[in-house]
Copies of this chain bind each other. A is one copy, B any other.
Amino acid sequence: MDFKALAQSVLERQPFNRLLGVELLEAGPGAVAFRLPLKGEFYQHLGAVHGGVVATLLDNALTYAAGSLLGPEVLTVEFKVNFLKPAKGEALLARGYAVGQGRRLAVARAEVYALKEGEETLVALGQGTIAGLSG
Contact = CB atoms under 8 A, between A and B. Distances in A.
A125 B109 contact: yes
A51 interface: yes
B55 A43 contact: no
A8 interface: no
Given A45-B10, A52-B52, A125-B100, A80 B78 contact: yes
Taking the full assembly, how many copies of this chain does it contain? 4
Interface of A: 10, 13-19, 40-46, 48-53, 55-57, 59-60, 63, 73, 75-86, 99-100, 102, 104-105, 107, 109, 122, 125, 127-129, 131
Contact of A105 (B19, B50, B77): B77
